[in-house]
Amino acid sequence: MTQATPRPTGRPAGECHLAILRAAHAVRKERLDAHQGATLAELVARSQVGYKVARALVGNMRRSGHLAKVGEVRVQYRNRPVALYAPTAAAPSAAPSAPPQPGPEHLGQALRAWVSH
Protein backbone atom coordinates (compact mmCIF):
# COMPACT_ATOMS: atom_id res chain seq x y z
CA MET A 1 0.00 0.00 0.00
CA THR A 2 1.29 3.45 -0.79
CA GLN A 3 1.01 5.99 1.95
CA ALA A 4 -0.32 9.39 1.03
CA THR A 5 1.37 12.47 2.38
CA PRO A 6 -0.92 14.72 4.41
CA ARG A 7 -2.36 17.56 2.38
CA PRO A 8 -2.29 21.05 3.89
CA THR A 9 -5.70 22.25 4.94
CA GLY A 10 -7.15 25.70 5.43
CA ARG A 11 -7.57 25.62 9.17
CA PRO A 12 -5.48 24.05 11.93
CA ALA A 13 -6.39 20.71 13.44
CA GLY A 14 -8.75 20.81 16.40
CA GLU A 15 -8.33 19.25 19.83
CA CYS A 16 -10.21 16.05 18.94
CA HIS A 17 -8.22 15.63 15.73
CA LEU A 18 -4.94 15.98 17.62
CA ALA A 19 -6.11 13.63 20.40
CA ILE A 20 -6.93 10.90 17.88
CA LEU A 21 -3.65 11.46 16.06
CA ARG A 22 -1.68 11.24 19.33
CA ALA A 23 -3.56 8.05 20.23
CA ALA A 24 -2.68 6.53 16.84
CA HIS A 25 1.00 7.44 17.34
CA ALA A 26 0.98 5.94 20.85
CA VAL A 27 -0.47 2.66 19.57
CA ARG A 28 2.02 2.63 16.70
CA LYS A 29 4.88 3.12 19.17
CA GLU A 30 3.61 0.28 21.39
CA ARG A 31 3.10 -2.10 18.49
CA LEU A 32 6.21 -1.24 16.53
CA ASP A 33 7.22 -4.90 16.25
CA ALA A 34 3.88 -6.09 14.90
CA HIS A 35 3.49 -3.28 12.31
CA GLN A 36 -0.12 -3.10 13.38
CA GLY A 37 -2.46 -0.15 13.63
CA ALA A 38 -5.35 0.63 15.97
CA THR A 39 -9.05 -0.02 15.56
CA LEU A 40 -11.56 2.80 15.83
CA ALA A 41 -12.62 1.49 19.27
CA GLU A 42 -9.00 1.55 20.47
CA LEU A 43 -8.54 5.10 19.19
CA VAL A 44 -11.75 6.16 20.97
CA ALA A 45 -10.67 4.58 24.25
CA ARG A 46 -7.16 6.00 24.16
CA SER A 47 -8.03 9.50 22.95
CA GLN A 48 -11.11 9.98 25.18
CA VAL A 49 -13.01 11.41 22.21
CA GLY A 50 -16.66 10.46 21.76
CA TYR A 51 -17.41 7.57 19.40
CA LYS A 52 -19.56 9.59 16.95
CA VAL A 53 -16.98 12.36 16.72
CA ALA A 54 -14.11 9.89 16.34
CA ARG A 55 -15.92 7.93 13.65
CA ALA A 56 -16.41 11.08 11.58
CA LEU A 57 -12.89 12.38 12.24
CA VAL A 58 -11.12 9.10 11.41
CA GLY A 59 -12.87 9.05 8.04
CA ASN A 60 -11.88 12.66 7.40
CA MET A 61 -8.32 12.06 8.59
CA ARG A 62 -8.03 9.07 6.27
CA ARG A 63 -9.25 11.11 3.29
CA SER A 64 -6.88 13.96 4.10
CA GLY A 65 -3.91 11.60 4.46
CA HIS A 66 -3.26 11.90 8.20
CA LEU A 67 -4.27 8.28 8.85
CA ALA A 68 -3.99 5.25 6.60
CA LYS A 69 -5.81 1.95 6.69
CA VAL A 70 -3.07 -0.63 7.26
CA GLY A 71 -5.16 -3.77 7.51
CA GLU A 72 -8.16 -5.49 9.03
CA VAL A 73 -8.62 -7.66 12.09
CA ARG A 74 -11.45 -9.84 13.40
CA VAL A 75 -12.85 -8.74 16.76
CA GLN A 76 -15.37 -10.30 19.16
CA TYR A 77 -17.82 -7.42 19.12
CA ARG A 78 -18.48 -7.42 15.36
CA ASN A 79 -19.22 -10.01 12.68
CA ARG A 80 -17.15 -8.32 10.00
CA PRO A 81 -13.44 -7.47 10.23
CA VAL A 82 -12.66 -3.95 11.44
CA ALA A 83 -10.09 -1.63 9.90
CA LEU A 84 -6.73 -0.90 11.48
CA TYR A 85 -5.50 2.68 11.19
CA ALA A 86 -1.98 4.06 11.54
CA PRO A 87 -0.59 7.60 11.24
CA THR A 88 1.19 8.47 8.01
CA ALA A 89 3.52 11.22 9.28
CA ALA A 90 5.65 12.04 12.32
CA ALA A 91 4.02 12.62 15.70
CA PRO A 92 2.23 15.96 16.14
CA SER A 93 3.73 18.58 18.40
CA ALA A 94 2.16 19.24 21.78
CA ALA A 95 0.98 22.68 20.72
CA PRO A 96 0.86 24.60 17.48
CA SER A 97 4.05 26.57 17.02
CA ALA A 98 3.49 30.19 17.94
CA PRO A 99 5.90 33.01 17.27
CA PRO A 100 8.05 33.87 20.30
CA GLN A 101 6.60 36.62 22.43
CA PRO A 102 8.82 39.63 22.99
CA GLY A 103 9.94 40.09 26.58
CA PRO A 104 10.80 43.22 28.55
CA GLU A 105 14.39 43.18 27.22
CA HIS A 106 13.06 43.67 23.69
CA LEU A 107 11.03 46.67 24.77
CA GLY A 108 14.12 48.19 26.39
CA GLN A 109 16.16 47.69 23.20
CA ALA A 110 13.40 49.24 21.08
CA LEU A 111 13.13 52.30 23.37
CA ARG A 112 16.90 52.82 23.43
CA ALA A 113 17.02 52.59 19.61
CA TRP A 114 14.10 55.04 19.31
CA VAL A 115 15.62 57.57 21.72
CA SER A 116 19.04 57.46 20.05
CA HIS A 117 17.59 58.47 16.66
Question: What is the pTM assigned to this prediction?
Answer: 0.65
Do residues 11 and 26 touch, judged by C-beta distance below 8 A? no
**Tens digit of each residue's pLDDT (9 = 90 or more) over 57-83:** 999 999 988 999 999 999 998 999 999
Percent with pLDDT over 90 in the chain: 44
Q: For position 31, what pLDDT does the model report?
A: 80
Name the H helices within the chain.
15-30, 40-47, 51-64, 104-116
Q: What is the pLDDT along the chain (117 residues), one digit of tens a residue?
A: 555 555 555 677 788 999 999 999 998 888 876 668 899 999 999 999 999 999 999 999 999 889 999 999 999 989 999 999 999 876 555 555 555 666 777 777 888 888 877
Domains of the chain from N-terminus onward: 1-92 (1.10.10.10)
Q: For position 33, what pLDDT does the model report?
A: 62
In this structure, the number of other CB atoms found within 10 A of the CB of residue 21 comes to 21
